[in-house]
Structure 1
Amino acid sequence: MFVTVLTVYYSHETAVIRGRLEAEGIECNVIDELTVQVNPLYSNAIGGVKLQVRESDFENAIVILKEGGYLTDSDLEKSAPKMISFFERNTSKIPLLKNVRFEIRVMVIVAVLVGIIGGLFVIFNSGGNY
């Protein structure tokens, strides 16, 4: 499974960093790179360009990024809120959703919850008369 190690505003910012990590034998994925290349104004709306590494390489990638000056301790402190990290970590374990982008997983979970709540609302407001 891949996890986000760094988020930047523009896709060209990942080129050197990705090369540095791959030179150390760390496989990288860049998410939303083409979307931002087509329209840079979308960067803020989609949360920037995300550089991802395998979960097993995460700690090593952090050390390399700190050594290269691409990441500081304060950057790590203001990374994704704990709720988002919790949601991403736990929804990636759901068999049908684990290979789907985070944004899609959120939409699917919200749709299921709305369906359940709507169904309960109909059941309790019908007074048992179907």
Structure 2
Amino acid sequence: MDWSVVLTFTYPQEAYMAKNYLESEGIETFIQDELTAQSGMYANAIGGVKLLIPTDKLEQGIEILKEGGYICPADLYREEEIKIVKWEKGMDKTCCPFCGSTNIGKKKDPDKIMVYILLILSVLFPIFRSSYKCFDCQKVWKYKK
């Protein structure tokens, strides 16, 4: 019988929860690399604890795991698109430039280039760049001069 990896987990107990859920729906499962993950900090090095199901039941297993909340739709993991807003004198930073709402928040994200430079130089603190998020229209933006 051919087996396919349907999900990977950091901790074996998470894999066992999904395993029990699939088996309650009548799908045979197998957990791989659980003991290696338990022996230390090796879970990420080996690719996590793997939950395998028969290849011929892969599509059915994925649908069952989606229904159970173990697999979320891909759009939940999509990164927010950050829009660039040209900064002009007199602009009000307390309201959204797209919908005019004042229900906004400031986010601090690490600048990726600075993170790489600081990692190379072995400095442990990243430089953060500010972005804004509107909680009404869900847009994320940065001001640029």
Bucket of the pairwise TM-score, normalised by the shorter protein: 0.5 to 0.7
The aligned counterpart of 1:15 is 16
Question: Aligned Cα RMSD in Å?
Answer: 1.9
Three-state SS of the structure 2 residue aligned to 1:26 is coil
Q: Give runs of aligned pairs for residues 1-130 of structure 1, distance below 5 A.
A: 1-39=2-40, 41-74=41-74
Q: Deviations over 1:41-84 (max 9, x none)?
A: 10110000000000011011101110011102329x99xxxxxx
Q: Which has the higher helix share?
A: 1
Unpaired runs of 5+ residues, structure 2, are 79-145
How many pairs align? 76
- Hey, what's the Cα distance between the residues in 2 that align with 1:74 and 1:44? 22
- Hey, what's the Cα distance between the residues in 2 that align with 1:73 and 1:5? 15
Unpaired runs of 5+ residues, structure 1, are 79-130
The aligned counterpart of 2:101 is none
- Hey, what's the Cα distance between the residues in 2 that align with 1:15 and 1:30? 8
Normalised by the length of structure 1, the TM-score is 0.55
Identity across the alignment (%): 46
Q: After the TM superposition, which parts of structure 1 deviate over 3 Å for at least 4 consecutive aligned residues?
A: none
Q: Which has the higher strand share?
A: 2
Shift of residue 25, structure 1, vs aligned partner: 1.2
- Hey, what's the Cα distance between the residues in 2 that align with 1:73 and 1:4? 18
Q: Deviations over 1:9-29 (max 9, x none)?
A: 111101111011011111101
- Hey, what's the Cα distance between the residues in 2 that align with 1:8 and 1:71? 12
